[in-house]
Amino acid sequence: MALLRIHRFPDGILAKEAEKVKEIDGKTAALLNNMADTMYSANGIGLAANQVGVLERVIVVDVGRENDRGKELFKIINPEIIEAEGSQITEEGCLSVVDYTAEVTRASRVLVKGWTLDHKEIEIEAENLAAVCLQHEIDHLDGTLFIDHLSRLKREMYRKRLKKLGDIPDPDPSKSNVPNI
Domain boundaries, the chain: 12-175
Active site residue 137: yes
Rounded to whole angstroms, what are the CA distances from 93 to 97, 123, 136?
7, 26, 10
What's residue 164's pLDDT? 85
- Quote the CATH superfamily of domain 12-175: Peptide deformylase (3.90.45.10)
Please write the tens of the pLDDT for every residue from 31-42: 999 999 999 999
What's residue 165's pLDDT? 79
Among residues 91, 125, 137, 156, the one annotated as catalytic is 137
pLDDT below 70 — which residues of the chain? 66-70, 167-180
What's residue 171's pLDDT? 45
Strand stretches in 116-166, DSSP E: 121-127
Q: What is the pTM of this model?
A: 0.89
Taken as a whole, the chain contains a residue count of 181
Contact 38, 4 (CB under 8 A): yes
What's residue 170's pLDDT? 43
What's residue 121's pLDDT? 98
What's residue 130's pLDDT? 97
Cα dihedral 65, 126, 36, 24 in deg (nearest 10)? 150
